[in-house]
Amino acid sequence: MIARLLATLTLVTTPLALSVTATGAEPKPLRALLITGGCCHDYPAQKEVLSSGVSKRINVQWTIVHDPRTGTTGKIPLYEKANWADGYDIVVHNECFADEKEVSWQEQILKPHREGVPAVVVHCSMHCYRAPSDEWFKFCGVTSHRHGSHFAYPMKLQKADHPIVKGLPPTWQTEKEELYHIEKVWPTATPLASGYSHETKKDEVNVWINTYGQGRVFGTTLGHYNHTMESPWFLDTLARGMLWACGKLDDDGKPLPGYGPAPAAKP
């Protein structure tokens, strides 16, 4: 008998004591859907690190869908719904199901984003849903089929004046990570930062923004290791990337009024 696998659904709400904006209006938290699970990564820990770290930085209410399967195959049941992204302001993809290769399944996932639902794509999400089509890469903003061995590497900013990375040091060093090889940056994408691979002997874009149809996308291939995800610059750029994708980030990289962290969630 085949055990039935059920995705766990968790609703994490921010504290009730929300701040009030200068206009007196109650700020509305961003309704964020985090989809996670699949091969090769510590997703049970990462969903906590990512959601709690971002909540210390911006006003967000999380719904977390964690598919418990740990292989490269698995159709997350949520995606079977026609309008699976309804009710959310943004979807954060941190999943790893490379061997779900049907074009129709890929299309089911992409449709809401193409129609305007903002997205964040993290690490193995770039290697998911390898249908015989470039559409997934077009959505992500970069084409990548492989990664190198695991090593610490130097990073540098590619567009230091962009609000998502404004104020970050121009160069810095990661801890041990898994750098993805980037074969193509799509014309709709703008690189924000890159890491140098001593294996490919070039800078591999690893933080960027993209536009897919009507939707904005923030992407990073960082995040193999939990220690990377725990780093302040990872969480800072991810939180800002979410705000940017939703049109809630100002030109200086600060949240628009009402979208900063709820008082009780500040570090």
Residues that bind Zn ion (CB under 5 A): 178, 224
Query: Strand 177-181 relative to strand 142-143: parallel, antiparallel, unpaired?
Result: unpaired
DSSP 189-216: EEEEEEEEETTTTEEEEEEEEEEETTEE
Which residue, 43 or 244, is less far from Zn ion as judged by CB? 43
| Residue nearest to Zn ion according to CB distances in the complex | 224
Q: In angstroms, how far is the first alpha carbon of the chain from the final one?
A: 48
Which one, 148 or 213, has the nearer CB to Zn ion?
A: 148
> Closest separation between CB of residue 224 and Zn ion, Å?
3
Element housing 184 (H / E): strand 184-185
State which residue, 4 or 146, has the beta carbon closest to Zn ion.
146
Integer-rounded Cα radius of gyration of the chain: 18
Rounded to the nearest whole angstrom, what is the least distance from the CB of residue 81 to Zn ion in the complex?
Answer: 28
Residue among 122 and 157 whose Cβ is closer to Zn ion: 122
Q: Which DSSP letter does residue 58 get?
A: S
CB of 204 to Zn ion, least distance (A): 14
- Least distance from C-beta 130 to Zn ion, angstroms? 15
Question: Is 178 or 236 the residue whose CB approaches Zn ion more closely?
Answer: 178
Q: Which is nearer to Zn ion, 150 or 266 (CB)?
A: 150
Structure tokens at 177: 């990570």
Kindly state the smallest distance separating residue 94's Cβ from Zn ion, in Å.
Answer: 11
Q: How far apart are CA 151 and CA 148, in angstroms?
A: 9
Min. distance of Cβ 178 from Zn ion in angstroms?
4
Most distant CA pair in the chain, distance: 59
Quote the tokens at residue 10.
């968790």
**Structural contact between residues 194 and 170, judged by C-beta atoms closer than 8 angstroms:** no
